[in-house]
Amino acid sequence: MKVYVEIDQYSGFCNGVVRAVNSAEENLSKRSVLYSLGAIVHNETELKRLEKEGLRVINLEQMSHLKDSTVLIRAHGEPPSTYALAKQNNIKLIDCTCPVVLQLQKKIAETAGQIVIFGKVGHAEVNGLVGRAEGRAVVIENKEQIDKIDFSQPINIFSQTTKDPDEFEQLCNLISSRMEDKSMLTVHNTVCRQVAQRHARLIQFAENHNVIIFVSGKESSNGRVLYELCKSHNPRTYNIQSLQQIDKKWFKEGDRIGVCGATSTPKWQLTSCAEFLKIALKSYICSKFYSIIYGNYSRF
């Protein structure tokens, strides 16, 4: 009997999250406590690991009571009001805003007229983008909300960097179909290229396996999008936050199992999941052959 497990080589932290986590660890090596404005990553397991090292997650209200402290700005970015508060309270900022998000913030600040942002209302990145628009932004989460837009005015549409590129394209096409003068619509394709590439790769990965174990935090917007993408191409896709959620009944003899995750899922967690499956399935299925590989199938 053969059982295969493959870890998706393209899953794991995006560059922006890698930069933020590395910066947090570097700063924690110099001090016992470091404040992070909001969760540095939407992954409960990784947060617990960093909390043990001294990372303390705070909200804006808590930050307003800090004085002469150091606060990390995560990859999602923040609106100008946060920087003003830091200056007022003599707070040193470790700014880990993703360069892709910084570029998007700049674009929005430099764009005149009505701004439409395709994103999740209340999401940290979206809040930062709205802050740069100075009251000119309309946030829409789906096509059912396009009536929020003033179609009599020119429209500049942007996307939260982690949204589904296909969904963004469909939304833009729908908005265009509602406009008498289509020249009044300007589409800014601001989905992160690294995120966009993962969509196509994940589709192929999901289709090439019998079972997909998708690892992500429950608060991860990107995780929900990528999980649904996998599920749409492989019905035997299961979303877990921890190893305890894995059910051996999901698997059958001879299954090729794929382990993947969101841009907020660390590589070490994917590896832990694969190692756990190795032990659990070997005892459950009594497999003679088993392998954990990175990128290609192998056996021993």
Query: Measured between alpha carbons, how far is residue 95 from residues 47, 85, 192, 267, 274 in Å?
Result: 18, 14, 19, 24, 34
Beta bridge partners of 290: 3
Contact 76, 125 (CB under 8 A): yes
Q: What angle do CA 272, 273, 275 make, to 5 degrees?
A: 65
Catalytic residue among 125, 144, 167, 169: 125
- Say how far apart CA 210 and CA 254 lie, in whole Å: 9
Residues 6+ positions from 161 with CB-CB distance below 8 Å? 98, 100, 101, 104, 125, 190, 191, 192, 195
* Residue 61 among the catalytic residues: no
Contact 194, 12 (CB under 8 A): no
Catalytically annotated residues: 125
